[in-house]
Amino acid sequence: MVETKQDFMTLIEKIEEQSWYKKPIGFGLARVDRGQLTPEKILQATYPVVNWNENFGSAAVFLHALRQTGTELDTSKSELVCDISEAFVDQCSEIFKPFLMQAVGDDHRNVQVTAVLSSLKEHNELKCEDYKMVFIFEDDKPQSVESVYLKLYALSTGKAKLRSLNLDGAFGQLHNCAWSNGKPIELDWLRTHEVTLKLCGNYPEITMVDKFPRFLSHVIPADNTRILETSKVRFGAQLAAGTTVMPGASYINFNAGTEGAVMVEGRISSSAIVGAGSDVGGGASILGVLSGTDGIPVSIGENTLLGANSCTGTAIGDSCVIDAGVTILPGTKITLSEKAVAAIAEANPGKEITPLMRGKDFLGVNGVHFRQNSTNGQIIAMRSTREVKLNDELH
Amino acid sequence: MVETKQDFMTLIEKIEEQSWYKKPIGFGLARVDRGQLTPEKILQATYPVVNWNENFGSAAVFLHALRQTGTELDTSKSELVCDISEAFVDQCSEIFKPFLMQAVGDDHRNVQVTAVLSSLKEHNELKCEDYKMVFIFEDDKPQSVESVYLKLYALSTGKAKLRSLNLDGAFGQLHNCAWSNGKPIELDWLRTHEVTLKLCGNYPEITMVDKFPRFLSHVIPADNTRILETSKVRFGAQLAAGTTVMPGASYINFNAGTEGAVMVEGRISSSAIVGAGSDVGGGASILGVLSGTDGIPVSIGENTLLGANSCTGTAIGDSCVIDAGVTILPGTKITLSEKAVAAIAEANPGKEITPLMRGKDFLGVNGVHFRQNSTNGQIIAMRSTREVKLNDELH
Amino acid sequence: MVETKQDFMTLIEKIEEQSWYKKPIGFGLARVDRGQLTPEKILQATYPVVNWNENFGSAAVFLHALRQTGTELDTSKSELVCDISEAFVDQCSEIFKPFLMQAVGDDHRNVQVTAVLSSLKEHNELKCEDYKMVFIFEDDKPQSVESVYLKLYALSTGKAKLRSLNLDGAFGQLHNCAWSNGKPIELDWLRTHEVTLKLCGNYPEITMVDKFPRFLSHVIPADNTRILETSKVRFGAQLAAGTTVMPGASYINFNAGTEGAVMVEGRISSSAIVGAGSDVGGGASILGVLSGTDGIPVSIGENTLLGANSCTGTAIGDSCVIDAGVTILPGTKITLSEKAVAAIAEANPGKEITPLMRGKDFLGVNGVHFRQNSTNGQIIAMRSTREVKLNDELH
């Protein structure tokens, strides 16, 4: 019996010593939406609490409770997705008892999960088939809808860094669904019931058809973050506090986002990252690895302005400006005056700055203003009027 | 009495022999949404089944049943919109009886419609004023909301080819409404009830104000088609299987769309068509006949890339690329090097390729890469690196 | 007792003579949404009727009734936000009695407000904490959520001119919320209940996270106005009758909009105004005062076309065209041929037109076509083919 926190700690140590035990990278209990026609198909997994390189005590409890209540645990694979049972819920409640009273707000969120399940059980409302216990042991290709969602949660909650997780094959794991009021519906279910639904006036309002849900369906942003339209941010994107996403031409794809307060009025393609204090102007396009870049994910520095309808296919440094309507691709030839070469070189000690450079040559170059000369059409680079902080360690 | 399928066939033959009978191009039973203040105004027509150059037996049944139950049929006009009655439902059920048991899934969808109406009637829930029986006999200007919707259905389900139907005056037939949860509301009804709705906290969430509904409110796309935001595709658009519509700057208007798997991150204006395997980049704009083109609807070939924020106002061939940010209008002067002339000519036997061409001269020319030279601002055309399949019949 | 309209008039005169009375610029009764965790926080204010420089009789009644029923009125500040009581509702009903029978449709809307509150009271459904009586006496910085909303209503209903109101600090007054089904939710409330909501499948569908609501949540547009997607127009924008807002890359921010029928497929930033008959092409960007302009709000004239993906950072006159993809910033150097100088000068008597002008020099210049010469990249201005109406009074 676990009566005290000390009992709890002792038990955790004992669990962690066992040969079958393996420390997970991430874990959580998910509520799952199943296919209306094919219930074995998981359409969505919603995690009230996401654990990522943390809360290993809770992980041990969940694994132990599964094992104690009859689940055969195979911790040798990269991930583990388990059904839950009433006995599992009881077992977890038993072990978490010493923490129950403090499990409010941000504290002991996994205990809160157990408490809610317990309460549902008491009211005879616990449907165990609605839940899955999910563990990721190695950052391998995801093998299930549940692990894809857990990784996307890790990215969108900021617990994992953008581009840091293996998402190979994630698209293949997810099912394309119609979504209505935040819930996924199998397209075949719609087809089967189309005649009746339409004739009776009950056809659902479909907000989208996609494999991914939206960021705001799963994640609560920081108090000073604004997303003016939910469709503009896909689940799996990451928005640092203070980021604003406007509803015009903007879009932030999964595994892409911002590292500080950024004004986003344009597109941040999958794998692209924008630094703090920067501004992605209306209709500006940061290309993804699949189109127009040279295959290297694009990073935009801090305090940089991408003008309206500009297009960027290569990395841009800090304190840069790309004028409205200007396109900088990796191969774009950019002309620099003698003065510009000197000024940009001064702001970028150690970088080679020459009178004719390609877009891709500006990797790590700060304080550049990219323009098109309106009298002769030439794409030019000048020193921007934005201050560049030199890295003291380099000098 | 129609007891067997043979009886049914015999009846159909007899109906089709009658002088009043006319084969419809399209027909279907619609559930209609009526004005809240002016119920005679039809705001929306929802078809569970769309018949287009097909299922003439069912058409004969419906016309016959209307006639037998007291409707005066005038089949001399281009279209016919009829009220239905309980007697009509009984009559159809009677005639369709031999097919009732097989009317499931994709089979005998018109029989399914009748069966649902019959079942509603049995439960005393059939409100006949909610339904209309609609026939289009000739592809003339639509004369009713119901026939506009039937034509838009024919386009959006892919049963009619894009640009193939007469939609003249369609805008004039439809009513501008507020839409909430997929249902149209008269603006005047909102005005009349504004004070009460707002004070009681019951003001509806309005998703749009328009004459047209959205594609996803009426059509179930193919399993591999994705529409990441419902507002991005208007009803009357056509999306071939495998098309993906992203939520950034994209939009597909009615009577426009794709002929194969296309990635759409830009605008496809009304009357524009994009070929299989092509990519409409983020913010790319394909102009419609009303602005920037020379009045000819724009077609984009297969396997062609329109770069981010590019703009196209004239037809573009297969395997072409327009670089990000480049605008090609019909009158744009485009410069070709000697090498480019030779390479593009080789890929396009029989086409006249010259060192200075206009945008509109590239009609039917494949394998072209349109760029802006970043050192002198010149719009140039080169041979793209994409393979062009030569048409064997031409050589 | 107020039995006749004459009694009413006499009372109003008496009220207006009193020393405490002050004529408000704007006033109205608002239904307020309060914070779920912190009810003293007003998240949204919904006005069924907006009074702006009008209906002073009703203002006098409301002020008088507040005073009579125990509210201490301080009319010395720029604005006044008062709680209401059942006694207040009774008092207003009493005074408005002579107008009750005519208070329908567009007539006596303030009386309608009182009547609805009265009726709620009779049914014991009046929750006084849901309402506030709001007055603005001077157009100073708004001091409350309620006055910010009243000013945004004045703009969005067209009762106040764009750019005419003091909105300094409005952002600071409003609270950032999650919005679901038109209702604001405190982010902290979501955090507090996240575990339970998600585990029970009750997590709300969040449509946006912002301080501002959407235009269509508060305002009923004119019959011929269309907004194809609600997220595209922020509350506080103004749309003249006949304006159409497409769902591609468009966006109209608060304190921005149109002065006549305009086709909007691009962005109208805060403080920008577009004249009647103009066309903001797909993805076109009209910059706001904070980025790319020289700090002067941009006005676009009448009958002017901003081509697809064009960008405008300075005022443009009537009957102008900016070609698709062309950017005109205040500092853009624009070259004019001798012929162009003559033709534009002819259409603009008294304006100085020269062979090399900057974008900002075109303020008030009509009939200009801005293009990029595709053979040499030069930004040029020509006389547009659009007719310019000369102002007779000037000649």
The model's pLDDT over A92-104, given as tens digits with 9 standing for 90+, comes to: 999 999 999 999 9
In A166-195, the residues whose Cβ lies within 8 Å of chain C are: 181-182
pLDDT band at A393 (very low <50, low <70, confident <90, very high): low
The strand ranges marked E within C105-162 are: 131-136
pLDDT band at A349 (very low <50, low <70, confident <90, very high): very high
pLDDT band at C394 (very low <50, low <70, confident <90, very high): very low
Report d(CA B288, CA C307) in Å as an integer: 12
CB contact under 8 Å between B325 and A309, yes or no, is yes
Measure Cα distances from B270 to B133, B210, B228, B251 in Å: 29, 16, 20, 10
> 3-state SS of A67-129?
HHCCCCCCCCCCEEEEECCHHHHHHHHHHHHHHHHHCCCCCCHHHHHHHHHHHHHHCCCCCHH
Which residue would you say has higher pLDDT here, B226 or C289? B226
Return the closest-CA partner of residue C322 out of C281, C361, C262, C274.
C281
Partner A contacted by B355 (CB < 8 A): no
Phi-psi region of C166 (alpha: psi -120 to 50; beta: other; left: phi over 0): beta
Identify the closest residue of chain C to A131 by CA–CA distance.
C199
Subunits adjacent to chain B (3 or more Cβ pairs under 8 Å): A, C
Report d(CA A281, CA A322) in Å as an integer: 10
Domains defined along chain B, listed by start: 5-170 (3.30.70.2010), 176-213 (3.30.60.70), 215-394 (2.160.10.10)
Report d(CA C194, CA A116) in Å as an integer: 11
Report d(CA B46, CA B55) in Å as an integer: 19
In this prediction, residue C38 carries a pLDDT of 97
Identify the closest residue of chain A to B266 by CA–CA distance.
A249
Question: What's the burial of C55, exposed, middle or buried (CB within 10 Å: 0-12/13-18/19+)?
Answer: buried
Is A214:A231 a contact under the CB 8 Å cutoff? Answer: yes
B257 is in an annotated binding site: no
pLDDT digits (tens, 9 = 90+) for A146-182: 999 999 999 999 999 999 999 999 999 999 999 999 9
Quick check: is A13 catalytic?
no
Percent of chain A with pLDDT over 70: 98
Is B372:B310 a contact under the CB 8 Å cutoff? Answer: no
List chain C residues with CB under 8 Å of B267.
Answer: 248-249, 265, 282-283, 308
pLDDT digits (tens, 9 = 90+) for C196-215: 999 999 999 999 999 999 99
Report d(CA A48, CA C202) in Å as an integer: 12
Is B52:B26 a contact under the CB 8 Å cutoff? Answer: yes
| Average pLDDT over all residues of chain A | 96
Amino acid at B237: A
The CA distance from A287 to the nearest CA of chain B, in Å, is 8
In this prediction, residue C291 carries a pLDDT of 67
Is A47:C198 a contact under the CB 8 Å cutoff? Answer: yes
Residue A234 makes CB contacts below 8 A (sequence gap 6+) with A212, A214, A215, A251, A252, A253, A254, B228
Tally of CB atoms within 10 A around B349:
10
CB contact under 8 Å between B323 and A326, yes or no, is no
The CA distance from B251 to the nearest CA of chain C, in Å, is 5
Three-state DSSP class for residue A30:
strand
Place of tokens 């509350």: C235
Residue B273 makes CB contacts below 8 A (sequence gap 6+) with B162, B163, B256, B257, B258, B259, B297, B298, B299, B300
Subunits adjacent to chain C (3 or more Cβ pairs under 8 Å): A, B
List chain A residues with CB under 8 Å of B224.
Answer: 176
CB contact under 8 Å between B267 and C282, yes or no, is yes
In this prediction, residue C340 carries a pLDDT of 98
In this prediction, residue A395 carries a pLDDT of 44
Percent of chain C with pLDDT over 70: 98
> Count H helices, E strands: chain B?
8, 26
Three-state DSSP class for residue C88:
helix
Residue A53 makes CB contacts below 8 A (sequence gap 6+) with A25, A26, A159
Partner A contacted by B47 (CB < 8 A): yes
Subunits adjacent to chain A (3 or more Cβ pairs under 8 Å): B, C
Q: Which of B195, B211, B293 is most worth mutating to test chain C (most C CB atoms within 10 A of its CB)? A: B195
Q: Which two tokens stand for residue A48?
A: 């009230």
In C120-159, the residues whose Cβ lies within 8 Å of chain A are: none
The CA distance from C80 to the nearest CA of chain A, in Å, is 28
B324 is in an annotated binding site: yes
CB contact under 8 Å between B228 and A207, yes or no, is no
Partner residue facing B48 (CB), from A187, A194, A379: A194
In B95-124, the residues whose Cβ lies within 8 Å of chain A are: 105, 109, 112-113, 116-117, 120
In this prediction, residue C393 carries a pLDDT of 53
Identify the closest residue of chain A to B50 by CA–CA distance.
A195
Residue A339 makes CB contacts below 8 A (sequence gap 6+) with none
CB contact under 8 Å between B248 and A234, yes or no, is no
pLDDT band at C296 (very low <50, low <70, confident <90, very high): confident
List chain B residues with CB under 8 Å of C31.
Answer: 198-199, 201
For chain C, first and last CA: distance in Å? Answer: 62
Residue C393 makes CB contacts below 8 A (sequence gap 6+) with none
Amino acid at C303: N
Identify the closest residue of chain B to C111 by CA–CA distance.
B195
Whether the CA torsion C318, C319, C324, C327 is positive or negative: it is negative
Three-state DSSP class for residue B179:
strand
pLDDT band at A109 (very low <50, low <70, confident <90, very high): very high
* pLDDT < 70: residue spans in chain B: 291-292, 391-395
Place of tokens 């072990």: A95
| Average pLDDT over all residues of chain C | 96
List chain A residues with CB under 8 Å of B231.
Answer: 231
Is B174:B211 a contact under the CB 8 Å cutoff? Answer: yes
The dihedral over CA atoms of B376, B378, B381, B385, expressed in degrees to the nearest 10, equals 30
Partner A contacted by B306 (CB < 8 A): no
Is B213:B145 a contact under the CB 8 Å cutoff? Answer: no
In this prediction, residue A85 carries a pLDDT of 98
- What letter does residue C148 receive in the DSSP assignment? H
Report d(CA C209, CA B249) in Å as an integer: 20
The residue from B259, B265, B352, B387 that is catalytic is B265
Question: Is residue A308 scored above 90 in pLDDT?
Answer: yes
Partner B contacted by A292 (CB < 8 A): yes
pLDDT digits (tens, 9 = 90+) for A18-46: 999 999 999 999 999 999 999 999 999 99
B323 is in an annotated binding site: yes
CB contact under 8 Å between B309 and C309, yes or no, is yes
A1-5, B287-291, C324-328: segment of lowest average pLDDT: B287-291
In this prediction, residue A392 carries a pLDDT of 56
Partner residue facing A209 (CB), from B120, B226, B377: B226
Return the closest-CA partner of residue C21 out of C53, C49, C59, C50.
C59
Binding residues of C for succinyl-CoA: 267, 282, 285, 308, 323-324, 331, 371-374
Return the closest-CA partner of residue C21 out of C70, C74, C68.
C74
In this prediction, residue B395 carries a pLDDT of 44
Interface pTM, i.e. ipTM: 0.96
Measure Cα distances from A267 to A246, A286, A302, B312 in Å: 11, 6, 17, 20
Partner C contacted by A322 (CB < 8 A): no
In B199-258, the residues whose Cβ lies within 8 Å of chain C are: 199-201, 203-211, 231-232, 234, 248-251
Question: Is residue C307 scored above 70 in pLDDT?
Answer: yes
The residue from A265, A302, A338, A387 that is catalytic is A265
